[in-house]
Structure 1
């Protein structure tokens, strides 16, 4: 039976406006226990910012994080999948673009979810190290 992205994605992803301070996004990630937030202007998906992006693009640059916006730290060259795509497509997109998380968009390009490499590992290979780690409660 073919499984679809909608079967494993995180629905209703956390979304912020581009002018949101990176410190606010970091706190959201901590409080929501997530590793990525989508960046949107109104209904238009503009980017994705991960916890790694905050470190590499914001903190490592040495600027004042309280003045830096998420627009300065997010990845804007997005690839997406649709909820009805099969999981093989999601794996292919991640592999081809060397990304760990992919926004899930509907036909109008509105973000409806996010799928991660961990989500796919839990589903496809739960006994693997990544599947095992991804299914475990995170450290608090």
Structure 2
């Protein structure tokens, strides 16, 4: 049942976006303000990159780079792997595991950003689905068992 579900069932529609010209310092301030670890880099409504807190740690902090002196465009990951909201959850999980990524932007047929899905979103969705299924099982009438008589010669 869960394998027939699509990304549109679990997508986060409120995606925080940023311009590539913004400094890494301002980007991290935005991440903190919006309580997110991921910003989608947009130029004219099209995805140009994705910036995660891990990118900032690896490409700025670990290298001792001044976050005010580097732009989002210089440190964001690109090209970006994207999926369509109509893609199946199983396909998304496979792509994320193969590419070792945790978040994937979703685009419409025109290439416009329509949402973002993460592995944690998918896990949480499956957890809620499992809980609802478990609750229905518990509420079912108890099964009755009939024992057959066994003849021993």
C-alpha RMSD of matched pairs (Å) = 1.6
Aligned length: 127
Deviations 1:32-91 (A, max 9, x none): 111100001112211100011111111222121112101111110211111111111110
The 5 Å alignment of 1:63-78 reads 63-78=65-80
Tell me which of 48, 64, 81 is aligned to 1:79: 81
Structure 1: gaps spanning 5 or more residues:
127-140
What is the deviation of 1:124? 2.3
Deviations 1:11-44 (A, max 9, x none): 1311111111111111111111111000011122
Q: Larger Cα Rg: Structure 1 or Structure 2?
A: 2
The TM-score with structure 2 as length reference comes to: 0.78
Q: Distance in 2 between matches of 1:59 and 1:125?
A: 35
The 5 Å alignment of 1:55-66 reads 55-66=57-68
State the match for 2:12 in structure 1: 10
What is the deviation of 1:125? 4.1
Q: Distance in 2 between matches of 1:59 and 1:19?
A: 19
Structure 2: gaps spanning 5 or more residues:
129-153
Is the helix fraction higher in 1 or 2? 2
The TM-score with structure 1 as length reference comes to: 0.84
State the match for 1:109 in structure 2: 111
Q: Distance in 1 between matches of 2:95 and 2:71?
A: 28
Tell me which of 43, 51, 65 is aligned to 2:45: 43
User: Does 60-69 or 45-54 show the bigger shift?
Assistant: 60-69
State the match for 2:24 in structure 1: 22
State the match for 2:100 in structure 1: 98
Q: Distance in 2 between matches of 1:71 and 1:61?
A: 17
